[in-house]
Amino acid sequence: MSVRLGAVVEGSPYEVRFEARPGTTDTSFVLVGWVPAHGAEPQAWAMRVEPGGSARHALDAPVAASYYAIQLDVDVPDGQAGGTLTVAGLVSGTKSVQVGEDETYLVQIVRAPAS
């Protein structure tokens, strides 16, 4: 099951940041992936986050006709404090969630408004 965080407009900048809480003893990982539609090639970037550290991924959102979502797979150390996942550039603004266990989040990619 995945948690929906909102939507980002194709071609607009977005940023994913993960801040691991101090006191954890193991590394956290965040996999940022573009989920393809209509035969496009999947794209993915891995972020390794040391205890008490942070990592950032920032790009422009892909074209909605080629990718329908940005998937964020967060893997935190079992039984430890986890961290904070923040996504900026959403249509609704910036959203932060507390991550205490492994979770998958989705950000929908929507078409740019017609001008």
Q: How many other CB atoms sit within 10 Å of the CB of residue 61?
A: 22
User: Model confidence over 7-47: pLDDT tens digits?
Assistant: 999 999 999 999 999 887 889 999 999 999 987 888 999 99
Hey, what are 18's tokens? 């993960």
User: Model confidence over 44-90: pLDDT tens digits?
Assistant: 999 999 999 999 999 999 999 999 999 999 999 887 778 999 999 99
What pLDDT, on the 0 to 100 scale, is given for residue 88? 98
B/e letters for 76-111, b = 16+ CB within 10 Å, e = fewer, are bbeebbbbebbbbbbeeeeeebebeeebebbbbbbe
If phi over 0 gives left and psi between -120 and 50 gives alpha, with beta otherwise, what is residue 6? left
Q: Give all domains of the chain, ordered by start, each with its CATH number.
A: 2-110 (2.60.40)
- The model's pTM is 0.92
Instruction: Tell me the chain's radius of gyration from C-alpha atoms.
Output: 14
What pLDDT, on the 0 to 100 scale, is given for residue 18? 98
Integer CA distances (angstroms), 38 to 2, 65, 70, 81, in order = 21, 8, 15, 39
What pLDDT, on the 0 to 100 scale, is given for residue 112? 86
